[in-house]
Amino acid sequence: MKLRLMALMLVILFAGAQAGLTAGETAPNFALKTADGKTVELKKLSGKVVVVNFWATWCGPCRVEIPGMLEVYGKYKAKGLEIVGISLDRGGWSVVTPFVEKMKITYPVVLGDGDVADAWGGIQAIPATFVVDRKGKIVERHVGAVSQEDFEKLVKPYF
């Protein structure tokens, strides 16, 4: 079953690679809660470079890219980088919280749903990563796993 699911996700990844919002569009606002009940609202992060990363605990490519994202986050956070991980796990916090702890994720993680995925152009594949500039415009978009080196190349021009 897991193999079928992975194969299906790969098909979706390649078939849906062109779906979603594109560079130049205003990033849709969201107000989503962290595990400890704090609300993360995109418009309140105005003035920062924000990476919005749609992912799930069961997604192999998502798992692969997280350590590199954490390294880049540590390097640029003081310069105004914020990452918001939007988990699309249907199991909710019962599966997300242990994963966040195991991976030592230090950026805010919130639970997303179909509404937020639709607002961002209909997320067809994960991981899906958007870079939002300090004025709230989407300036970069990447579907699929991103290496640490490529992730840094996505965000560095905005600092």
Model confidence, pTM: 0.86
Question: What digits encode the pLDDT tens for the residues 90-147?
Answer: 999 999 999 999 999 999 999 999 999 999 999 999 999 999 999 999 999 999 999 9
Residue type for position 128: A
Instruction: Please count the structural domains in the chain.
Output: 1
CATH of the domain at 151: 3.40.30.10
Closest CA relative to residue 106, chosen from 140, 137, 75, 148: 75
- Cite the DSSP H helix spans in the chain: 2-15, 60-76, 93-103, 114-119, 148-155
pLDDT-derived band at 2 (thresholds 50, 70, 90) equals: very low
Contact predicate 133/51, CB 8 Å: no
Cα(124)–Cα(31) distance, integer angstroms:
21
Domain that holds residue 63: 2-158
Whole-number pLDDT of residue 4: 41
Q: Is the peptide bond before 108 cis (omega within 30 degrees of 0)?
A: no
